[in-house]
Structure 1
Amino acid sequence: MEIHAKTVLLTGSTGGIGLEISKALAAAGARLILTGRNLDRLNALKKNLVGEGHLAIAVDVASEDGVDKLVALAQTNQVDVLINNAGVNHLATHEQTSSGEITRMMTVNLCAPMILCSRLIPVLQNRTEAMIINVGSIMGSIGMAGSATYCASKFGLRGFTESLRRELADSNIRVVYFAPRMTSTAINSEQMVAMSQALGTAVDSPENVAEQLVSVIAKPGCIEQYLGWPEKLFVRINGLLPRVVDRALKKQLPTVLSYAR
């Protein structure tokens, strides 16, 4: 797809990755509908973007009212691309994760994208060509200690994206699963950052992730994109030989638990 002059609805626009995606898409000539929960931050972002006609709306994508507002705006502005980027994370052992944290992560990371897709498919089907990009994670393919709920939400998003892609295979809508690895953003708590440093985990910049996402839009045959090496290899190995990955990750368990507990 040629992104120039297309209208893109981006959730989580002011987050670390979302901010850079917004800049990259605007620079490529897209018209953006920016969403998030803080209107001041959204307006500040809109003001500094290249191009004209961008819109900002403060909504909670996890609420019915928020979804209704986004759908109405998408209909009025003839959205071509939906990017489900909003997400939350929390480092903790599962026994120490509250029911509220579990519900919030599953709602924002999985239920909200599913509902938005359901409501916006009729809008997207009216366009000559359209796209849905669900931003997942490498942890949507590899279960990690200390992140059980987050992994569950991203595993679910990956399965949903695969199913939806097959369901819409004869339509004008291309469905893509986009999976970054660890990225340097505010979604990561101090404990998570410290744990990653202790484990020697590679961390990407949000600018690099945004560049990769925009490049995916231009690739007609691309249906999924995993970022990072050797993370992409581990995804393959985990799918074929999960016990091998079990043994490798068990060596990291004491370090993970020291930060997750």
Structure 2
Amino acid sequence: MKIDQARVLLTGATGGIGQAIAKELLARGAAVLLSGRSPAKLAALARQLGGPSSLPERIHWHAADLDDPAALAALRDAAAEWRTNVLINNAGTPSFGRFESFGAEHMEQVLRTNLLAPMRLTQALLPALRRQPRAQVIQVGSALGRIGLPGYSVYSASKFGLRGFAEALRRELRGSTVRVQYLGPRSTRTGFNDARVDAYNRATGTAVDTPESVALALVALIESEAAERFLGMPEKLAVRLNGAVPQWLDGAFDKHRASLNPIPLETPT
């Protein structure tokens, strides 16, 4: 799909990657319906991105807590009225630390936000997407949806699930007007990560991308209609190796495991 033909529903719009995606899409002529939990942040972002003209015909916002069925239904209706033909499930929540440190509430929250919410919104919007001549659903996941790293057990579980959902739904909808895709960024320089992750990345020599580079990759994915795209090297190579012979990489992450040692355990809740 050409970007200037896209009418996008973007979740997680006020986050670092979300803002960069929205800015890039608008700059290339797309119409964008911004979504997130905070009306104040969404309104401010719309004003910031719209500039003096506020681009009233190409930028709107709708606040929604995707854990709330009524709010999800209202967002579905707003997106259908917006004539959405591209759904970008970008909202997410972080999880980093040793597995023993996590309580049940934290694990459930991560899975709800990173996996169940995109599944529910995709399902809710599918009838409206099917009515479009051409439509796309993009799940913004992570390279950690193909490579499990020490410290990311819960986060990887959510993103592995999201990628599996995207792959299965892509095959289920093959032959229809709806294309399902998956974007796998690597670590990105935003407020999403805390100081512990920054220290982990420095200790392990992990490269960190800008949100703008992720936005450019997402735009390229929309235009190419490719099934998947992962960012960065050696991550792209690791994705391939991990898919073919995952046990070969087990020892490659000893440095990552060792880097968790100084991190104190959190109290499970």
User: TM tier, shorter chain?
Assistant: over 0.9
Residue 177 (structure 2) pairs with residue 172 (structure 1): yes
User: C-alpha distance in 2, partners of 1:197/1:110?
Assistant: 28
Give the C-alpha shift of residue 5 in structure 1: 4.1
Note if 1:216 corresponds to 2:221: yes
Are 1:194 and 2:166 counterparts? Answer: no
Structure 1 partner of 2:255? 251
Aligned residue runs from structure 1 range 1-261, under 5 A: 1-50=1-50, 51-53=55-57, 54-220=59-225, 222-259=226-263, 261=265
State the SS of the aligned residue for 2:49. Answer: coil
> CA contact under 8 A between 2:150 and 2:256: conserved in structure 1?
no
Q: CA deviation at 1:89?
A: 0.8
Quick check: 1:146–1:260 contact (8 Å CA) kept in 2?
no
TM-score by length of 1: 0.96
- Alignment gaps of 5+ in structure 2: none
Q: In the TM superposition, what is the alpha-carbon distance from 1:52 to its structure 2 partner? A: 3.0
Residues in 1 aligned to 2:177 and 2:114: alpha-carbon distance in whole angstroms: 25
Alpha-carbon distance in structure 1 between the residues aligned to 2:13 and 2:195: 22
Gaps of 5+ in 1: none
Amino acid aligned to 1:182: S
**Counterpart amino acid of 2:46?**
K
Moved more, 229-238 or 54-63: 54-63
State the Cα deviation string for residues 140-193 of structure 1 (Å, max 9, x = none): 011111111100000000000000000110100111110000001111011111
Q: How far is the alpha carbon of 1:260 from its aligned partner?
A: 6.3
**CA 1:129 to 1:118, structure 2 compared with 1: closer, same or farther past 3 Å?**
same
Q: TM-score, normalised by structure 2?
A: 0.93
Deviations, residues 67-124 of structure 1 (Å, cap 9, x unaligned): 1111110121211110000000121211111111101100000000111111111000
How much does 1:48 deviate? 2.1
Distance 1:129 1:257 in 2: 49
**Offset at residue 252 of structure 1 (A):** 2.8
Tell me how far apart the structure 2 counterparts of residues 99 and 257 of structure 1 sit (CA, whole Å).
22
Q: What is the rounded CA distance, in whole Å, between the counterparts of 1:173 and 1:183 in structure 2?
A: 29
The alignment covers a number of residue pairs equal to 260
Are 1:3 and 1:217, in contact at CA under 8 Å, matched by a contact in 2? yes
Residue identity opposite 1:7 in structure 2: R
Identical amino acids, percent of aligned pairs: 42
Moved more, 81-90 or 43-52: 43-52
Secondary structure of the residue that 2:182 maps to in structure 1? Answer: strand
CA shift, 1:259, in A, is: 3.0
